[in-house]
Amino acid sequence: MVWSSLHPCREWNSVPQSLAMNSDRKINLTMLELTLKLLTFLFLVFSNSFGEQNQTKLPKLKKISESRYRFGLITLDQKGRYIEFDATTNQTNGLIEYALVHESGKIHESLFRTKVRPQIIHACLLLLKHPTANGFFENLWSENPQNIKFDKSKVRVEVSWDVNGTQFRMPIETFAFNSKNQQSLEIGAFVFTGSKQIEGVYLAEASGSIIAVYADEEAVINSTDHDSNNDDVWLARREKMPLLEVPVTLRFLLPNI
């Protein structure tokens, strides 16, 4: 699987005027396409859940560089194929079921919490044309689940933080382990499943579930690791975790399409 990488942009003065104008048109078109997709998606999926009052509070999509946009608390990079936002260390030991929840969610069993709303994360992944892992739960809960990789729907999550000027960055899987074999979550275990919508309610927004270690059909992202259907085995790996209440940055990296 090829993951995205960032490339330095050429200086504006080094680009011929005709090419610069064409490039500018493409950027404007991309911005328009992103905005239209965003508004359409939010209208179709979330309008019944929030009503007119909440609709007016949806953040605006703002361009901040050639391929980067700001959508509320999330930075979205179209070329780099990633999104990133702030979170806080929430739990460093004991049983867990989530790697990330909204601050209104199940914070008593999650490694990290964030102010970012689940449906905004869902929308950003769709804006980057990231496909959901169709059939994930049907396979997981079946009597004879198959070893399906769901590679196209994978989401690699990196956690970065600062300790007295020293920068740390680790895969989020590092912070959870299976008590039966002491093994951390497999790197690359998470896939974009998308949350359910029932009777006009987007369930991740109601529950606050974003990244589930123990399978949750309401979460935006779920784990493909063995025992992801077992809620009694997953623990926080304290020696690897940032300290409690430490601010962190989460980056969701998507494979190239």
- Contact of 171 with 158, CB cutoff 8 Å: yes
Alpha carbons 11 and 20: distance in angstroms, whole number = 11
pLDDT recorded at residue 145: 79
Span 54-106, pLDDT tens digits: 444 678 889 999 999 999 999 999 999 999 999 999 999 999 999 999 999 99
Question: Phi and psi dihedrals of 130, rounded to 5?
Answer: -85, 125
pLDDT recorded at residue 30: 60
pLDDT recorded at residue 36: 54
In tens digits, the chain (257 residues) has pLDDT values of 555 443 333 332 333 444 344 444 454 546 556 665 665 555 455 544 443 434 446 788 899 999 999 999 999 999 999 999 999 999 999 999 999 999 999 999 999 999 999 999 999 999 999 999 998 888 888 878 788 889 999 999 999 999 999 999 999 999 999 999 999 999 999 999 999 888 878 899 999 999 999 999 999 999 999 889 999 999 999 999 999 999 999 999 999 87
| Residue whose pair of structure tokens reads 């080094």 in the numeric block | 14
